[in-house]
Amino acid sequence: MKFKQKWALVTGGSRGIGRGICTELARQGCNMVVNYVSDSNRAKKTVSELVDLGVEAYALKADVSHRAQVDAMVSKITARHPLDILVNNAGVVQFEPFLEVSMESWDLQCNINLKGAFNVGQEVARHMVKRKQGGKIIFVTSFNQEVPNGSQGVYSITKSGIKMLAKSMALELAAHKINVNTIAAGAVVTDINKEQIEQFPGLVERLEKIIPLQRWGTVEDMGKAAVYLASPDSDYVTGSTLFVEGGIMINNGMMINIVQD
Ligand SMILES: NC(=O)c1ccc[n+]([C@@H]2O[C@H](COP(=O)([O-])OP(=O)(O)OC[C@H]3O[C@@H](n4cnc5c(N)ncnc54)[C@H](OP(=O)(O)O)[C@@H]3O)[C@@H](O)[C@H]2O)c1
């Protein structure tokens, strides 16, 4: 049990990767606050699964892109108990070619992904600094923090921005013993890409062919990475990125052995 008596907040924690992270942290004894924005029933279900793992857990609704809602959420939490760990996971993607990006789409992705990460990150960091017990802050980005995907330019820009947000925070918060890192996630089947998978048959298989480890990631893969970055095992790691993407970043298009094949 790595996290006995500890409390973590996971934004967008009720489903997908966020739920996977909540589950792995709870398996290590962490008490959980599950943030959600749209589906209270799903949040309740996730909370009840976490409680079944033997930890305390509850859900709080807040739109991370709205600063007042974020401030109210963090105040509510810290009035009940301190926060040791923050996982900024909430995120959205819009698939559209660069020439067709609308201002609405730009604003939506920047507001939720980047401004949302800043909103929650700053407010929780203020609490951690005031408390003087250090802390762990993790941002779920994507391998798109380094390289863009076609028709996902704005999303990639937001993830790249979060990488720099994490580095800036890491630099300024190190003296307060607060570690700030990102998880650059690879492809994981969740609601975020459900439509694309349905719309483009064979997408899953095609991607498996270019991922060196030959499979999509799972929410458990992401959860285990979060456990490492939230635990004392990573006390000497800050301003860094853990790539959990099956090696897709090292594929330069030459996965076949061009000498032998
Ligand atoms: N799946 C992948 O292949 C993949 C790859 C790389 C990175 N990621 C990143 O992983 C993170 C989680 O994505 P996912 O794949 O698990 O997608 P998902 O299943 O669609 O979940 C998205 C989560 O974000 C929350 N959310 C959206 N807008 C929000 C807002 N304004 N305020 C608070 N919460 C909000 C949702 O909350 P509600 O449930 O309440 O709507 C939901 O829990 C995202 O940051 C995504 O960019 C995903």
**Pair of tokens at residue 220:** 């458990």
For the chain, domains (ranges, CATH) are: 7-244 (3.40.50.720)
CB 184 within 8 A of CB 227: no
pLDDT at position 1, please?
A: 85
Residue 44 has pLDDT above 80, yes or no: yes
Give the closest residue (by CA) to ligand 1 atom 46: 91
Nearest CA to ligand 1 atom 21: 16
pLDDT at 254: 80
Question: From residue 38, how far is each of 15, 53, 68, 74, 118 by CA, in Å?
Answer: 11, 24, 17, 18, 20
Q: Is 186 left (phi over 0), alpha (psi -120 to 50) or beta?
A: beta
When pLDDT is cut at 50, 70 and 90, the band that residue 256 belongs to is confident
The conformation of residue 256, written as its DSSP 8-state character, comes to S
- How much of the chain, in percent, has pLDDT values that exceed 70? 98
The mean pLDDT value of the chain amounts to: 96
Ligand 1 atom with minimal separation from the 192 CA: 20
Q: Look up residue 57 and give its DSSP letter.
A: E
pLDDT tier at 258, thresholds 50, 70, 90: low
Each residue's pLDDT tens digit, 112-144? 999 999 999 999 999 999 999 999 999 999 999
Residues 70-78, mean pLDDT to the nearest whole number = 98
Q: Which residues pair with 58 in a beta bridge?
A: 33
Q: Which atom of ligand 1 is nearest to the CA of 143?
A: 6
Query: CA–CA separation, 230 vs 161, rounded Å?
Result: 21
Question: Ligand 1 centroid to 100 CA: how many Å?
Answer: 23
- Of all protein residues, the one whose alpha carbon is nearest to atom 24 of ligand 1 is 90
Instruction: For residue 253, name the pLDDT band (cuts at 50, 70, 90).
Output: confident
User: Two tokens at 76?
Assistant: 């509510």
Residues classed as catalytic: 155
Query: Averaged over 200-211, what is the pLDDT?
Result: 94
Amino acid 261: pLDDT: 53
Name every protein residue with a CB atom under 6 angstroms from any ligand 1 atom: 11-12, 14-18, 35-39, 42, 63-65, 89-92, 112, 116, 140, 142, 185, 187-188, 190-193
CA distance 17 to 23: 10
pLDDT of residue 23: 98
Q: Average pLDDT in the 186-210 region?
A: 95
- Work out the average pLDDT over 27-51: 98
> What confidence tens digit (pLDDT) does each residue in 10-23 have?
999 999 999 999 99
Tokens 């270019």 -> residue: 210
Q: Whole-prediction pTM value?
A: 0.98
Answer yes or no: are the C-beta atoms of 141 and 159 closer than 8 Å: yes
| Residue 191, pLDDT above cutoff 70 | yes
pLDDT value at position 162?
A: 98
Instruction: State the pLDDT confidence band at 252, using cuts at 50, 70 and 90.
Output: confident
Please determine, for residue 106, whether its predicted confidence score (pLDDT) is greater than 80. yes
Residue 81: partners with Cβ closer than 8 Å, 6 or more residues away? 7, 31
Q: What is the DSSP string of 116-155?
A: HHHHHHHHHHHHHHHHTS-EEEEEE--GGGTSPPTT-HHH
- Choose one of 11, 17, 87, 93 to mutate for the ligand 1 pocket test, by most ligand atoms within 8 angstroms of C-beta: 17
